[in-house]
Amino acid sequence: MTAPPETQTIRLVCLTSTLPDAVKQGRIPPREAQTVARTPAGPEGFTLQQLRKPPRFTQIILAGDCTCEGLSSPLPAPEQITTPVNLSAQFAAQSPAPQVDDASQKPHFPADLPIIRTASLQDRNYGTWHGQALRDLPPDALNALLHDPDFAPPEGESLRQFHTRIGAWLTTASQGEMAEVEPGAADLSNSPSSSGARPSAPSGKQSRTRSDTSARTHLLIARPAVVRALATHILQGGPEMATRLDIAPQTTSLFTHHAGNWRVRALGVP
């Protein structure tokens, strides 16, 4: 008799990027604007109270309008293509490092960690209004933009449509790309070496090994509005709820998925 499949556990660690400079100037950012995420330094950088130990990531999921310090260009096009990247070589290619080689100050990523860069997690599409100063918009249009979740700028999307897009990505991801990561990727992120055969575990440790490999931990890098939309989707809210949540740039959130359900475990941790 075939044993039933084990329940897949997904941990989604979300790191928010900086805000576009245009936002600080009272303008809607240009569509091509890229924001930067700075990963915490050292092996303890992503420590959260909800995790028993610093996470070892299976993959990085990068929004198409974000970049990450430590990942050199060119990055794959934002089309949800899984691209194995030798991160060790990329970190070495960064501009001038300090004279003292302190490994504790480098992001704690294994080499060849896959990167998925996706347009589905980009910030809201403001259509022809990208780059516009808010003060230049007609008063009624500005009021609708700020207060009507169903208002869409020309050729853009409404706040509700934006939230629907982000929620659809989360639903698809929990059933597909994150839950079906090749076992080799998990072995690489959790083992000191990718070469050689993996030794067989003693019979007394079989259940623990299966439990460890049934959980996947992923690093998602996106803008604060995207992480806020993910949180409200998990909480079964909508755009109205999002207006009551503050998630700052350069903060970390944790969402977990188990037995078909998502939970918000941490939100906007500095």
Contact 72, 94 (CB under 8 A): yes
Predicted pLDDT at 142: 96
Sequence-distant (6+) residues with CB within 8 A of 71 are 60, 62, 85, 87, 90, 115
pLDDT lower than 50: segments of the chain: 4, 72-74, 80-106, 179-213
Rg of the chain (C-alpha set): 20
Cβ atoms of 36 and 66 within 8 Å: the answer is yes
Query: Could you read off the pLDDT of 102-115 as tens digits, one per residue?
Result: 444 445 566 678 88
Q: Could you say which DSSP state residue 100 is in?
A: S
Nearest to 3 by CA among 207, 163, 184, 167: 207
Q: CA torsion, points 76, 185, 190, 187, in degrees to nearest 10?
A: -160
CA distances to 68, 99, 165, 248 from 102, in Å: 20, 9, 41, 29
User: Is 17 in a helix, a strand, or coil?
Assistant: coil
pLDDT at 87: 37
List the one residue out of 127, 125, 132 whose CA is nearest residue 161: 125
Q: What pLDDT is attached to residue 158?
A: 98
* Range 9-87+108-121+161-183+217-269 has CATH code 3.40.630.40: no
pLDDT at 100: 35
The reported pLDDT for the residue numbered 51 is 81
Domain ranges of the chain: 9-87+108-121+161-183+217-269
Cβ-contact 188, 110 below 8 angstroms: yes
Determine the straight-line distance between the first and last CA of the chain, rounded to whole angstroms: 49
Helix (H) or strand (E) holding 146, with range, is: helix 139-147
CA proximity to 50, closest of 262, 264, 242: 264
Whole-number pLDDT of residue 174: 83
DSSP state of 262: E
